[in-house]
Each structure stands twice: as structure tokens, then as C-alpha cells.
Amino acid sequence: MLRLVTENNAVLLPVKVVPGASRTALKGFWQDRLKVAVAAPPEKGKANDALVAFLARLLGVRRRDVTVAAGTTTPLKTVRIEGITEADVHQALQSARS
């Protein structure tokens, strides 16, 4: 099950990123993390930028409200989303998967 944490008006979302995919898409869950494939390569922050843009669109927030808080150089990341609740995240993910 996805483990979210709320901290100072933001939600921390654990993510596993698979860079270099044929297209950027939600791939389900991996252990206790959201699994996202991104089309961008894992170089010079391109995969992180693609992840941030994808999650902002998926969750309906501004891109500037989504940041990679931990794991900038690894596939296992913690993404910080400002101005959203855990319930909002769960609802957006449920809608995206159905």
C-alpha cells in the first residue's frame, strides 16, 4: 500500500521512477511506492523534470508545487507536493488507474 506523509501543508509521495521508457505513464505500485515510467533519459535531471511535470498534471497542481525532495540521482525518490491533501492524492491516483 502506498505510504503518504503529510508535512507542513504538503504531501510526501514515495516514487520509483523507470527512466528511458517509450512513454511517460503511471505503472502502478512497487512495494510501498508509486511506480512511474518516464520517457526522458536519466541524465542531467531530465527524468526528474519529466516526473515532476507528469505528477503535476496527474494531481492537478502547478508544476512549481511539485519537487523531488529526496533521491534526485536514484530511481527511488520522495516527491513533495505543496497545497494538496493525502485524500486528494489517493483520489487522483484512483481516477488515473480506472
**pLDDT reported for residue 97:** 77
Query: How is the chain split into domains, by residue range?
Result: 5-97
Average pLDDT, the chain: 94
Q: What is the DSSP string of the chain?
A: ----EE-SSEEEEEEEEE-S-SS-EEEEEETTEEEEE-SS-SSTTHHHHHHHHHHHHHHT--GGGEEEEE-TTSSEEEEEEET--HHHHHHHHHHHH-
Which residues of the chain have a pLDDT value below 70? 98
**pLDDT reported for residue 48:** 97
For the domain covering 5-97, report its CATH number.
3.30.1200.10
